[in-house]
Amino acid sequence: MAKKKRTYKEIMEELDAAIKELENGGLPLEEAIEKYELGVKLSGELLVILEKAEERVRIMEEDGEKNFEGA
């Protein structure tokens, strides 16, 4: 079964929750390390989403310039 692709917002909310848990303190060391690792992983996922969005915008801008110049 295919894994559901999560949205930027869903990933950001999960990252925010992990950050809040770390900031509140009181986590055992091993759990704190796991939350930190999760945060790094989620940050990477967000970066990929943003890079793809940036590429799409760049392509649209280039296409728009071509269409405008050809008009």
d(CA 44, CA 52): 12
Name the one residue in this structure whose structure tokens are 């989403």: 49
What was the pLDDT predicted at 60?
Answer: 85
* pLDDT band (50, 70, 90) for residue 61: confident
Report how far apart the first and last C-alpha atoms of the chain are (Å, whole number): 47
* pTM score, whole prediction: 0.79
Among residues 4, 16, 69, which one has the least CA distance to residue 46?
Answer: 16
Average pLDDT rounded to a whole number, residues 23-36: 96
What was the pLDDT predicted at 67?
Answer: 65
